[in-house]
Amino acid sequence: MIIDSREIKVTTSKEQMPEHLQGSALQQESRSAHTKKFYIESYGCQMNFNDSEIVASILSSMDYGNTRDIEEADLILVNTCSIREKAEETVRKRLRYYESIKRKKPHVKIGVLGCMAERMKKSLLEEVEIVDLVVGPDAYRDLPALIPAVEGGEKGINVFLSRTETYDDIMPVRLDDNGVCAFISIMRGCDNMCTFCVVPFTRGRERSRDPYSILAEADDLFQKGYRDVTLLGQNVDSYKWTNPETGETVNFAQLLVMVAGVHPQLRVRFSTSHPKDITDEVLYAIRDHENICKYIHLPLQAGSSRILKLMNRTYDRPWYEAKVRRIYEIIPDCAISSDMMVGFCTETEEEHRETLEVMQQARFSMAYMFAYSERPGTPAQKRLTDDVPPEVKKRRLQEVIRLQNQISYAHNRADIGKVFEVLIEGDSRRSERDFKGRTSQNKVVNFPKKEGLQKGDYVRVRILDATSASLRGEIV
């Protein structure tokens, strides 16, 4: 029997919820030991990792405590991504591994969360025998209803997409973090119907979170020692919250300023921006507030206006280039990163070269680069032909990566001799004798430790050397 928790009444009002669901960090910290353990893995975008922290908070109200040892878990969860075929294949491999654990410990329950759960729905339960639980991104509140049924031997599913859910009253339990940097979800879903993208179908329509709950979370993080927060959303620039009682509205630029006002030593970042929505008001907010980082992730996807139209990106090449020039005009020291996708349907060699040209003109500090992967159910899969051969996609991707490495190297070399304020995030991966941190431009800096300093401290660092991936410096 399959239990669909949409048929089960679950209380969701703040008055009826456990205190932790109203944002009480104190209860999370003081709660006694749990008798059962859950283990959770997250894949894909940072929104998925943030969602896992929301799930951890909900489970903490039950009889479950978090463990990092999968062998001692009673409940194994994987939070999934569907943006590319490779991402789903990674999850399928993990499920095969979970199967070996379940053979040794038959009582262990396996759950699939997130976008892959939303895309495949009930078929996931039917295709993968070991899966007991399938929960979409908007249905995590139903875990307290679903899990007991699953523990009783049933299969559980809820993939209902909500037009209102933002989890604004749930204080996430921070998992596997460094105690300095954290992510705050400010909105969910996406209204941009890019033809290649599954997000509108797996995460639903855009809805913005109450700004005052965002401020409360940011303040709570600062009080706990965090010094760097990233505001998350599929398209943060379209954030717009309206008070249903007063009609008061808050846009993204205003929210940025509000969060920056929590404390001058709290750095504020954001991701991701859609080029069509980022405004001069946002750029002036970045320019005028020292603790709003001088860094913007501005996905290009392709340099050809024809391909951009096929992608339904709602801008063309000249418009994007003008937006980049405007960013540099208002914030000369801003670093811009991007996304590039090669081999989209019908892309020609000339159109591929246009992408390379825009990359050179925009001077991206770094980029995420991919070959097009057709996703089931998207407009591109339904209406367009994935006709660029795999070997051509691979070669074009290599060309994009090679060029971006050159641009990133030149971008970083230009910082040699400059002094930046760097937030210490912990030990360098390369050496325990070094700290690592990031500049306002989101560049990683490694530098020798100095007695009396620790993670969470700000230091001024002079850049001595650079690679395409990071900077090397010394404290001044």
At the fourth CATH level, which superfamily is domain 419-475?
Nucleic acid-binding proteins (2.40.50.140)
- Give pTM, 2 decimals: 0.89
- 406, 415, 426: which is closest to 461 by C-alpha? 415
What confidence score (pLDDT) does residue 12 get?
A: 30
Domain limits, CATH 3.40.50.12160, in the chain: 2-158
Round to whole Å and give the CA distance between 260 and 240.
17
Encoded tokens for 31:
């709660």
Q: How far is CA 31 from the centre of its chain?
A: 29
What is the fold, at CATH topology level, of the domain defined by 296-414? Transcription Regulator spoIIAA (3.30.750)
Q: Where are the alpha helices (DSSP H) in 105-197?
A: 115-120, 122-127, 143-151
- 421, 419, 427: which is closest to 455 by C-alpha? 427
Round to whole Å and give the CA distance between 188 and 185.
8
b/e code 267-276 from CB counts within 10 Å (16+ = b) = bbbbbbbbbe
- 336, 308, 319: which is closest to 277 by C-alpha? 319
What confidence score (pLDDT) does residue 11 get?
A: 28
Maximum distance among all Cα pairs of the chain, rounded to whole angstroms? 66
What confidence score (pLDDT) does residue 34 get?
A: 73
Do residues 247 and 239 make contact, with C-beta atoms less than 8 angstroms apart?
no
- 444, 470, 473, 471: which is closest to 460 by C-alpha? 473
At the fourth CATH level, which superfamily is domain 2-158?
Methylthiotransferase, N-terminal domain (3.40.50.12160)
Encoded tokens for 110:
């396996």
What confidence score (pLDDT) does residue 33 get?
A: 60
The residues of the chain scoring below 50 in pLDDT are 1-32
What confidence score (pLDDT) does residue 63 get?
A: 86
Query: What are the φ/ψ torsions at residue 166 (nearest 5 degrees)?
Result: -130, -5
What confidence score (pLDDT) does residue 407 get?
A: 98
- 224, 272, 162: which is closest to 28 by C-alpha? 224
Do residues 44 and 83 make contact, with C-beta atoms less than 8 angstroms apart?
yes
What confidence score (pLDDT) does residue 402 get?
A: 98
Round to whole Å and give the CA distance between 188 and 137.
9
- 361, 343, 468: which is closest to 399 by C-alpha? 343
What CATH code is assigned to 177-293? 3.30.750.210
- 221, 312, 295: which is closest to 259 by C-alpha? 221
Show the beta-strand stretches assigned E in 21-161: 36-42, 64-66, 75-80, 109-114, 133-135, 155-158
